[in-house]
Amino acid sequence: MFDGWHEFYGLLGTAASTLVALLFVAVSVGVGILTTERAGPTRLYVSPIILHYASVLFISLIVLIPTLSDRVLGATIGLCGAVGLIGSVVITVRLFRDSKAEFVDRFAYGAWPFVAYAGVATVGVLIMRSSQQAPIILAASLLLLLLVNIRNAWDLTITFARRHGDNAHPPNH
């Protein structure tokens, strides 16, 4: 079913792993910004990014295993989608409880990943039914997750830069 998709998933997995490595660099540079009072909200935004990049990487790698049966592949991808759905619901609820969360962040960190994981979960079922639409829906779902995550990582980096600027130039009293 995924014949001809090898390069796509190889590239997608490579992009996800590279971006997660860059995120680790950004977070380690911003570690001085992660004070006790700021660590909670920052974790709310960093953890989903790591989860989503790891999901894109894991699913890309699973698809490239040539010996998996459709049943095992579908069940594994479906389980990843279900875990992502649950994670997205938890994150979305936390974002709506956080009065400081911006409207766009509620979609970028919660709603759009939910849509992507719903696609991934659906693909799990489609693979077990040998649907030829499964590879296309999976590709679209993972691309959505990757692109939204790039936006979120950029948003986080800008937030770190602003906080660093605030710390470097404290207000005069």
- In tens, the pLDDT along 1-60 reads 888 999 999 999 999 999 888 877 776 766 655 554 455 556 677 888 889 999 999 999
Whether the per-residue pLDDT at 66 is higher than 70: the answer is yes
Q: Once rounded to an integer, what is the mean pLDDT over residues 137-156?
A: 93
**Interval 127-143: pLDDT, tens:** 999 999 999 999 999 99
Q: What is the pLDDT of residue 173?
A: 52
Whether the per-residue pLDDT at 91 is higher than 80: the answer is yes
Share of the chain above pLDDT 70, in %: 83
**What is the rounded CA–CA span in Å between residue 119 and residue 141?**
6
Q: Rounded to whole angstroms, what are the CA distances from 138 to 1, 87, 92?
A: 12, 18, 22
Q: What is the pLDDT of residue 107?
A: 86
Answer for the pair 84, 51: CB distance below 8 angstroms, yes or no: yes
78-82, 90-94, 126-130, 156-160: segment of lowest average pLDDT: 156-160
Query: Domains of the chain: which residue ranges?
Result: 6-31+40-159
Type of residue numbered 32: G
pLDDT, greater one: 168 or 126: 126
Average pLDDT value over all residues in the chain: 85
**pTM, to two decimals:** 0.84
Whether the per-residue pLDDT at 68 is higher than 60: the answer is yes
Answer for the pair 111, 92: CB distance below 8 angstroms, yes or no: yes
pLDDT classification of 123: cutoffs 50, 70, 90: very high
**What is the rounded CA–CA span in Å between residue 121 and residue 84?**
9
